[in-house]
Structure 1
Amino acid sequence: MCTVIAGVEPGARTPVVLAGVRDEMADRPWRGPAAHWPRFPGLVGGLDLQAGGTWLAADATVPRVAALLNGTGRQASPAIRRSRGDLPLRAAAHGGLPGGDLAVYDPFHLVVAEPGGVRLWHWDGERLTEDKLPPGLHVIVNDGLVTGDADPKVAWFAPRFAAAPRPSADDPGDATWAGWRELAAGAGLPAADPRALVVRRELADGRVWGTSSVTLVALGEAGLRYDFDARPGDASAWTTVLAPPRGKR
Structure 2
Amino acid sequence: MCTAFVSIDPSSPTPVVVLSVRDEYAGRDWLPPDRHWASRPALVGGRDLAAGGTWLALDPGGAGEPPRMACLLNGFGPPAAPAVRLSRGDLPLMAATDGGLDLDLLDPQRYDPFHLVRAQAGEVSVLSWSGHELAERLLPPGLHVVVNDGPEGRAANRTASQRAGRMMAARIAHFRPLLAAAARPEPTAGPADAPTGEAWGQWLPIAAGDGLDLDDPAALIQRRDFGDGRIWGSTSVSLVALGPAEARYDFNSVPGSGAWHRIGLGPRTPSTRPAEVPTA
Q: In which range does the TM-score fall when normalised by the shorter chain?
A: over 0.9
Corresponding position: 1:7 with 2:7: yes
Quick check: 1:191–1:200 contact (8 Å CA) kept in 2? Answer: yes
CA distance in 2, matches of 1:27, 1:206: 9
Aligned length: 244
Please tell me whether residue 126 in structure 1 is matched to residue 132 in structure 2: yes
Q: CA RMSD in A?
A: 1.9
**Residue 102 of structure 1: aligned partner:** 108
How far 1:243 sits from its partner (Å)? Answer: 5.9
Deviations 1:24-50 (A, max 9, x none): 000000000000000111100000011
* 8 Å Cα contact 1:224/1:242 also seen in 2: no
Q: Which residue of 2 aligns with 1:84?
A: 88
Higher relative contact order (CA 8 A, sep 6+): 2
What is the alpha-carbon distance in structure 2 between the residues aligned to residue 244 and residue 44 of structure 1?
10
Structure 1 residues 180-201: Cα deviation after superposition (integer angstroms, max 9, x where no partner): 1211121111011111101100
Q: Name the one with the larger strand percent.
A: 1
Deviation at 1:12, TM superposition (A): 1.1
Which residue number corresponds to residue 201 of structure 1?
224
SS in 2 for 1:189: coil
Corresponding residue for 2:25? 25
Residue number in structure 1 paired with 2:205: 182
Alpha-carbon distance in structure 1 between the residues aligned to 2:252 and 2:183: 19
Residues 139/10 of structure 1: CA separation in 2 closer, same or farther (3 Å cut): same
2:147, 2:153 within 8 Å by CA — same for their partners in 1? no
Residue 43 of structure 1 is matched in structure 2 by 43
Letter aligned with residue 36 of structure 1: H
Does the CA contact (< 8 Å) of 1:25 and 1:208 recur in 2?
Answer: yes
Quick one: distance in 1 between partners of 2:266 and 2:145?
A: 26
| Native 8 Å contact 2:44 2:265 kept in 1 | no
In structure 1, the gaps of 5 or more residues are: none
Distance 1:162 1:216, change over 3 A: same
**1:167 & 1:222 partners in 2: Cα distance?**
17
Which residue does the alignment assign to 1:212? 235
Question: Aligned residue for 1:171?
Answer: 190
Partner SS state of residue 130, structure 1: strand
Tell me the secondary structure at the aligned position of residue 95 of structure 2.
helix
Q: Which residue of 1 aligns with 2:175?
A: 157
Is residue 75–residue 106 contact of structure 1 (8 Å, CA) maintained in 2?
A: yes
Unaligned runs of at least 5 residues, structure 2 = 155-165, 268-280
In structure 2, the partner of 1:238 is 260
* Mapped contact 1:17–1:217 kept (Cα < 8 A): yes
Counterpart Cα distance in 2 of 1:227 and 1:170: 15
Secondary structure of the corresponding residue to residue 182 of structure 1: helix
Change (3 A) 1:59 1:17: same
Shift of 1:244: 7.9
Shift of 1:170: 3.1
Alpha-carbon distance change, 160 to 97 in structure 1, aligned in 2, over 3 angstroms: farther
Q: How far apart are 1:162 and its partner, in Å?
A: 1.4
CA distance in 2, matches of 1:231, 1:105: 30
Question: Are the counterparts in 2 of residues 3 and 142 from structure 1 also a CA contact under 8 Å?
Answer: yes
CA contact (8 A) 1:75 1:107 kept: yes
Aligned-partner Cα distance in 1 for 2:8–2:229? 40
Partners in 2 of 1:243 and 1:177 — Cα distance? 17
Identity among equivalent positions (%) equals: 51
Match of 2:246 among 198, 223, 240: 223
- The 2-side partners of 1:204 and 1:97 are apart by 42
